[in-house]
Amino acid sequence: MYNTALVFPGQGSQYIGMCNDLIENVPIAKNLFDKASTLFDIDLFSFCKNGPAEDLASTYIAQPVIFLHSIILDAVLKLNNIKISAVAGHSLGEYSALVSCGSLSLNNCLNILKTRCVEMQKANINNKGSMLAIIHDNLNEVRQICDKFSKTVIANINSHNQIIISGPVQQIEDSIQLFKENKIKKVMKLNVSGAFHSPLMNEANVTLNKVINSVNFSDIEIPIYQNVLPTENFEGKEIKNNLLKQLTGSVLWYNIIVNMKKKGINQIIEVGPKTVLSKLTKKIDSTINIIAIDTIEDLKNNGFKIIK
């Protein structure tokens, strides 16, 4: 018997063509896109359908469309009466998880996300940042190199050997040379617009946290594992406090999966575009059964019905 957790992907998982089949087959999909498009004052679905890729990847568009994609699929799973034992999301995906488990309402979440997108884009312009993926199994060695720079930090611990660092553009460039000098050669710059989960997001966090503090977070029955505190949590007040730290804190994804397994989670369903979290989970613990739900075909192939 499976104890199932839902996990939700973050920014970077978007692709042209996403949501097309959801709009055509899931009744709530168009209404959700219309609601979000009105709030964001832009036709979000047109970018899913037509691109261009550069616009779709921008923070202001990518974050709401990934969130909507996940929430639409989540609604379909709930209509199939699937039993859920836990939820989690990677960075942006934590917002999808908060709505899924009932801690945050859809409307409040969309309002927070709009502020998050606007403030992150401002911070990206004011503080030119970058991110670097390092494939290395010694976290302390990576941390020691980060510590040589004033604003470069570990942004994500994605698996036992995939670490993401974040900081100012020049510091990230300089760190590449240091990694090579320390015989850490598998490094790759990420195609992102800023230094997420780093001190360069501090100014964005000021306004974002005012909005987060203005809304209610409910206590929940299905636990959420959060990025900055990767253990199960049921209390709305603590969930809010953890979210306040998320934009500038590290995403402890490796710890989330390890802790879920310790609590008996043996199946994970990734809900949203692409399969980034499915691949990471397989690297972390190959004994966990993994299902990735991105499209209508994925739903049908895994025995879920589209209830209209």
Catalytic residues: 91, 197
| Three-state DSSP class for residue 269 | strand
Q: Which two tokens stand for residue 10?
A: 């973050």
Contact yes or no for 21/284 (Cβ under 8 A):
no
Sequence letter at residue 102:
G
**Nearest-CA neighbor of 192 among 11, 44, 66, 53?**
11
Number of helical (H) and strand (E) elements in the chain, helices listed first: 14, 10
DSSP result, 260-285: HHHTT--EEEEESSSSHHHHHHHHH-
Task: Give phi and psi for 136, each to the nearest 5.
Answer: -165, 140
Residue 165, Cβ neighbours under 10 Å: how many? 29
Contact yes or no for 144/229 (Cβ under 8 A):
no
